[in-house]
Copies of this chain bind each other. A is one copy, B any other.
Amino acid sequence: MIFGDAKVSCAELVVIGDEVVSGLILDRNSQYLGEKIHELGIEVSRITTVGDSASTIEDCINLALERSDWVILTGGLGATHDDITKSVLLKVFGCGLKKDLSVESMLEKMFQNRGRDVPPSVKSQCEVPDKAVILYNEKGTAPGFKMQKGNSILFSLPGVPVEMQYLFEKYVAPEMAGKNNKVFLHRLIKTTGLSEAGLWEKVGPIDNLQKKASIASLPSHLGVRIRISVLSESEDDGESRLDEVENYLAQKLSRYIYGRNEDEIEEVVGNLLRENSLTLATAESCTGGLIGHRLTQVAGSSDYFIEGAVVYSNQAKVDRLHVDPKLIEEFGAVSEPVAKAMAKGICDVTGADLGVSVTGISGPSGGSDLKPVGLTYIAVHDRSGTYCKKFVFTQDRIRNKERSAQAALNLVRLRLQEKMEI
């Protein structure tokens, strides 16, 4: 759901490559550029994706230059035979090639470091359009180009994401920001544990908020992100409007908000553990190791994450975590008593301050009328006791696992933030 947005000038993206139109690869460059350009307060009006056909690429570039202030191409700058962007640019801008000595010496140095000569196929990268300003690429062999036609500025960037992002940040973003006298600011508020509809019900009417900023919400099975953006005369005014909207949302949504912008819940949990000098251990059944995997995506997680037990079989629950086999017999492996025994067990065995456990039926099989697929118990144990929550997730195996891991990390967060009652 998007509640309106304000923009200054407009940009178009042209994505080039047979691999993209034929679905062989997923284009993530457009999303990256769409988001970054949006943050600069410039509207992305159109993204056109085309295969490696010279005439189609030419047609797209000409149309984009007519319609838009900014045109950004990605892809087709490699040295292989199917990379034809450069020759199309010569035609569109009516120019020839010249040798760029700086590109040449960069390439020589790069291959010298690898102990070899510049291969003949790569040498062609030194030849650049004679009307282009060169965007020097420290991350790869293909330079980017900046070219102008009338009032429209075109940037041609390589398709390799790391190279594209490097050149965008270094050359394109500063130029776009410089032409834009207004300040565009935005902030992401990240929530979990509420549906999109439930979230807006809790927030209530937002007519007044919308006078301060544009608001958009995006749901996924792991939570809802809210994006607040403002276009303002000054940074101070913009930030204070963002603060006002964020404070209002925080007051309405309180504990459902786990972070903002780039925050991930595993980082938030990690920071809380580190601040409180606490250690964590995991006892995972249906999630199979996903919680440990997520915790260890964070650099430095060895400071607080000491150990995990992936107790997939019942025997493992008994042997490793000392779960009483009678509990499993009486209540089943997917039950509150077993989840609690697992969380307590992992603390006892490892000496961790906090233990989190998950036991559930991910599906597609293993469900029954009494215990449907998606039934999941998550428990958190610490010195003051054991807390358990029941969930019924309703998606496929993979998403049920993902939701379980997200909910488990969130319960650890709540326990640490709120010293939640047991």
- Which A residues are within 8 Å of any B CB, using their own CB? 1-2, 5, 15, 18-28, 30-38, 43-53, 56, 60, 80, 82, 216, 218, 227, 282, 284, 286-293, 295-297, 299-302, 305-313, 315-316, 319-320, 350, 362-365, 397-398, 401
Contact = CB atoms under 8 A, between A and B. Distances in A.
Nearest to A305: B312
A306 B295 contact: no
A322 to B, nearest CB: 14
B309 A309 contact: yes
11 contacts: A23-B30, A24-B35, A24-B227, A44-B51, A46-B50, A48-B49, A282-B310, A288-B289, A299-B365, A302-B313, A307-B313
B31 A299 contact: no
A299 B350 CA distance: 30
Contacts of A305: 288, 312
Contacts of A365: 299-300
A316 B307 contact: yes
Q: At the interface, is chain A mostly helix, strand, loop or mixed?
A: mixed
Contacts of A18: 2, 5, 216
B33 A30 contact: no
A56 B26 CA distance: 25
A301 to B, nearest CB: 8
A306 B38 CA distance: 48
B320 A311 contact: no
Nearest to A292: B289
Given A18-B2, A218-B24, A293-B289, A48 B51 contact: no
Contacts of A316: 306-307, 350
Contacts of A32: 23
A19 B218 contact: yes
A363 to B, nearest CB: 7
Nearest to A310: B308
Contacts of A295: 288
Q: How many copies does the complex hold?
A: 2
A59 to B, nearest CB: 9
Contact of A46 (B49, B52, B302): B49
Contacts of A26: 26, 28, 31
Contacts of A309: 307-310
Contacts of A300: 365
A62 to B, nearest CB: 13
A289 to B, nearest CB: 3
B297 A302 contact: no
B397 A299 contact: yes
B288 A296 contact: yes
Given A5-B18, A51-B43, A299-B363, A292 B310 contact: yes
Given A292-B289, A293-B288, A315-B306, A23 B46 contact: no
Nearest to A53: B45
B23 A33 contact: yes
A137 to B, nearest CB: 19
Given A23-B35, A45-B50, A288-B295, A311 B315 contact: no
B34 A45 contact: no
Contacts of A25: 31, 218
Given A38-B23, A46-B49, A216-B19, A289 B312 contact: no
Contacts of A291: 289
A296 B302 contact: no
A22 B35 contact: yes
